[in-house]
Amino acid sequence: MSAMRHLTLIRYDEIGLKGRNRRFFERRLRENVARALEIPRADVAWERGRLFAPGGDPFAPQPASQPLARVFGVRSYSPVLRVDPELEAITPVALALAATGVSRGGRTFAVNARRGDKRFPLTSLELNVALGRSVQQAHPGLDVDLGRPDFTLHVEVRESGAYLFEAVLPGPGGLPVGTAGRALLLLSGGIDSPVAGWLSMKRGLALHAVHFHSFPYTAQGAREKALALAEGLAGWGSGSVRLHLLSATELLQEIGRLAPEGLWTILLRRGMLRVSEMLAARQGCGALVTGDSLGQVASQTLENMAAAEAAVSIPVLRPLVGFDKAEIVELARRIGTYDISVRPFDDCCALFAPRRPDTRARLAQLERAESKMDLERILGRALAEAETVELGRSSRRRFLEPAEELAAV
């Protein structure tokens, strides 16, 4: 008899549309899949629009959350059994899958056969009929229902073998992390910015993150939140996020001392964007990402976003601009960052919120206020004293030495 193999078949689609970039996307997806499964890349096989990872049991109940459900670029995946592409090898496995379906209470079924290799003697339709007949002989009470069957026996006949499976499990879709370049996420302790980070990873961006703390005004807990959030994001995509922890204390003090209260929020935002732009240049990041959404709070009017953004020349991406708060919260829950975000610690912006924020800050006013400050020294120092942590899906947190950090760029 033929040798059977347990595998997981992985489907991706959007990548297929990318023309000449296709191989690049596939290589990256393969690498990200290998990292998620913690296996060598060579163990993930590629064959014509599919990846195959070792291991997978089509007879076992499928756990809700598996690593592949968190790899961007994966459309869906199925634990499969591979046999020789011959009817005599396919039929017993189809019968065993049907027996499993029946034992779980299934009363109707369908067969979905696809012949990818034209050397196989039966057409897809003929294979459907042959397998359907064998299953009904073995289980006379079982009815065919092509509309809403209780279970479906899938068979894909390819050059490398026939693949049989029952479950088609959803992946997160999107593009493989790393295929769209690298960006720096401004990660507060709030609900929005982790979601913004997740959405940008979904479109293929690899992420670094920067968090501004303000000891001694904010507790150690704020920093722990940022670490936990970055770690949460690292569990998606390629499996790692580099977090830079910077102090905004001196900047806050300088703003508080020299600027009118109505401008505090935007001045702080401008300062953060400026340091982030410097950090992005050092780390090879081509854009900043923020959790801004239009109109949510006073600093998020179009005028104020424009005034903040005018401080930098790097692109600032705002993936949440079209989202309602309720939609953001729902997504945060789904991706697992919500529970971390609502831990009760103030971030520096919350502490620093002026009583009547100015929603129409004028650029000239802002620049006048800034001209009184020694921004170059303050921001330069914040950057020089940054602490960098490499957060991985499963590895422990690793604090990088400055030299090591630059070497890795």
Give the span between the Cα atoms of 362 and 57, in whole angstroms. Answer: 62
**Residue 290 engages ligand ATP in binding (rule: CB under 6 A):** yes
User: Least distance from C-beta 190 to ligand ATP, angstroms?
Assistant: 2
Token pair recorded at residue 346: 């103030």
Residue 308: name its binding partner from ligand ATP, Mg ion, none (Cβ under 5 to 8 Å by kind): none
User: Least distance from C-beta 189 to ligand ATP, angstroms?
Assistant: 7
Please identify, using beta-carbon distances, which residue of 229 and 379 lies nearer to Mg ion.
Answer: 229
**Residue 76 engages ligand ATP in binding (rule: CB under 6 A):** no
17 vs 25, 46, 175, CA distance in Å?
10, 17, 11
Stretch that binds ligand ATP, among 108-116, 156-164, 291-299, 389-397 (CB under 6 A): 291-299
Build a one-symbol-per-residue string for 254-283: x at contacts with ligand ATP by CB under 6 A, - elsewhere: ------------------x-----------
User: Got the DSSP string for 307-322?
Assistant: HHHTT--S-EE-TTTT
Please identify, using beta-carbon distances, which residue of 188 and 214 lies nearer to Mg ion.
Answer: 188
Strand spans (E) along 159-251: 161-165, 169-170, 182-186, 206-213, 240-247
Which of 93, 68, 77 has the alpha carbon at shortest distance from 162? Answer: 93
Q: Is 107 exposed, middle or buried (0-12, 13-18, 19+ CB in 10 A)?
A: middle
Please identify, using beta-carbon distances, which residue of 166 and 231 lies nearer to ligand ATP.
Answer: 231
Give the span between the Cα atoms of 2 and 160, in whole angstroms. Answer: 13
Site for ligand ATP in 181-200 (CB under 6 A): 186-188, 190-193
Residue 152: name its binding partner from ligand ATP, Mg ion, none (Cβ under 5 to 8 Å by kind): none
CB 35 within 8 A of CB 239: yes
Please identify, using beta-carbon distances, which residue of 93 and 285 lies nearer to ligand ATP.
Answer: 285
Q: Is the peptide bond before 170 cis (omega within 30 degrees of 0)?
A: no
Give the span between the Cα atoms of 102 and 99, in whole angstroms. Answer: 5
**Residue 211 engages ligand ATP in binding (rule: CB under 6 A):** yes
Token pair recorded at residue 226: 């940022």
Amino acid at 409: V
CB 165 within 8 A of CB 81: yes
Token pair recorded at residue 175: 């593009």
Give the span between the Cα atoms of 116 and 369, in whole angstroms. Answer: 68
Residue 208: name its binding partner from Mg ion, ligand ATP, none (Cβ under 5 to 8 Å by kind): none
Please identify, using beta-carbon distances, which residue of 78 and 188 lies nearer to ligand ATP.
Answer: 188
Paired residues of 182 in beta bridges = 206
**Residue 188 engages Mg ion in binding (rule: CB under 5 A):** yes
User: Least distance from C-beta 191 to ligand ATP, angstroms?
Assistant: 5
**Residue 190 engages Mg ion in binding (rule: CB under 5 A):** yes
Please identify, using beta-carbon distances, which residue of 8 and 304 lies nearer to Mg ion.
Answer: 304
Token pair recorded at residue 74: 């994966």
Residue 393: name its binding partner from ligand ATP, Mg ion, none (Cβ under 5 to 8 Å by kind): none
Size of the site for ligand ATP (CB under 6 A): 20
Please identify, using beta-carbon distances, which residue of 150 and 224 lies nearer to ligand ATP.
Answer: 224
Task: Count other C-beta atoms under 10 Å from residue 347's C-beta.
Answer: 22
Please, which residues have CB within 8 angstroms of residue 137's CB and are 6 or more apart in sequence? none
Residue 193: name its binding partner from ligand ATP, Mg ion, none (Cβ under 5 to 8 Å by kind): ligand ATP
Please identify, using beta-carbon distances, which residue of 188 and 300 lies nearer to Mg ion.
Answer: 188
**Residue 283 engages Mg ion in binding (rule: CB under 5 A):** no
Q: Which residues bind ligand ATP (CB under 6 A)?
A: 186-188, 190-193, 210-212, 272, 290-292, 296-297, 299, 347-349
Q: Which residues bind Mg ion (CB under 5 A)?
A: 188, 190
